[in-house]
Structure 1
């Protein structure tokens, strides 16, 4: 059997925002599970190249593509690059996104901040998912197929200091349901993974605040979530083992979102 044929038979995953943090952990976990991985990043820099090398060291192929999620015109180019490289897309992980530009009073939120966050987190994710879904429907594959969106507990838990962020994640939750219904007949699983408080570069600046709140019972498991926790959930969903499930929400939050009193 030729190496080219091996490539053709391997499942292909596209992970947005895969250069670091949660995205990088997802890239590595899927690679260990036998996926060849394409991931987007803002720049194909030394960090992205090093991640490609690590993926290749576990026996998978890797492709880094510089692409901005909110640029809808660039999305078609991104998909074409991935298909030219891998032949198909079996799994899309919508991980890229941004937080609120600044935290503050909901009554002082500016239209520019609202537009930036919604254009990226919601509009960009929706239309990339739409394009990949069309590709999946038009391209037969022997591999399990899935679309997994990394959302947030903020999809259901309100934070008035980050209103635009919460709105974007709540809308993504509905997007998961919509695409799940549309693609169910084609056996394409669509899922939402909701991280809680995860230890990443983005949370480093507020680490001491959260650690104090852990002591006071904010998270029932009383610890940080790790990026590997999210990657493990994504890997399970992408594997196709839950093949009679779609539209499901998986909370990876240590119990944070469980209503309690």
Structure 2
């Protein structure tokens, strides 16, 4: 059976770093996001990934359409054996959590939690129909914000904390069937999402915020995905892995 990886938000940032790692290891890669197929980031990603990649336009908030897009992925590339739930949205506006409005709360949790859960649910159901000698995995890319408080983006932290529990729930449900489920918690990663705060965080990183002393790169996340997808960490199912250069280690 072909190795097929589905990566939400795989056309840029962390998702593209993951896609490059998997494509380089021989996986056929399906990129899924709400970007239009003609968008510049989609074209650039497909050019970088080559013939192994295909793009599928879909909004995670469209829960009713999850099945249709998965049908399209299977028709084009084959059944998904590796699923990386990576796509996410930040808080619409950073600010005092006492001023947080329901529309921003609903939007962030609608994508990062509700949409992600129901897509993973559909993927899991399909994985259960595959031969059990085919290793299958699901990885949720959350954030150090699952446990580290940022009061200026409460809705984002809440969504990532919920996603951390989501990973554990899927791990327990799918372990008897040999499907590994993992959670990766990136720290401060250099992507388009963090471009607006680059100067602020560069100074803090240089001041010791990150023990490793540097920004994380999308490739750092991609390097962790490979052993997960290949089954080399199968008995560690349910594990949460911080990919943050030591940022989340409690210190005095």
Question: Given the two structures, how large is their TM-score scaled by the length of structure 2?
Answer: 0.96
1:96 aligns to what? 87
> 2:6 aligned to 7, 14, 19, which one?
14
Structure 1 residues 120 and 44, CA gap change in structure 2 (3 angstroms): same
Deviation at 1:38, TM superposition (A): 0.6
Give the alignment partner of residue 42 of structure 2, picking from 35, 38, 48.
48
Offset of residue 34 of structure 1: 1.2
- Matched-pair contact (CA < 8 Å) for 1:39–1:63: yes
Is the contact made by 1:49 and 1:64 (CA closer than 8 Å) also made in structure 2? no
- In the TM superposition, 1:141-220 aligns within 5 A as 142-220=133-211
SS of structure 2 residue aligned to 1:138: coil
Structure 1 position 201, deviation (Å): 1.1
| Whole-Å separation in 2 of the counterparts to 1:126 and 1:199 | 26
* Kept after mapping to 1: 8 A contact 2:132/2:178: no
In structure 1, the gaps of 5 or more residues are: 1-8
Gaps of 5+ in 2: none
What's 1:31 paired with?
23
CA-CA distance at 1:234 after TM superposition: 1.3
Residue deviations 1:103-157, cap 9 Å, x none?
Answer: 0001110011100000000000000000000000012265321000110000000
Which 4+ stretches in 1 moved above 6 angstroms? none
The count of residues paired between Structure 1 and Structure 2 equals 250
Instruction: Quote the Cα distance in structure 1 between the aligned partners of 2:11 and 2:85.
Output: 13
> Structure 1 pair 141/28, CA: closer, same or farther in 2 (3 Å)?
farther
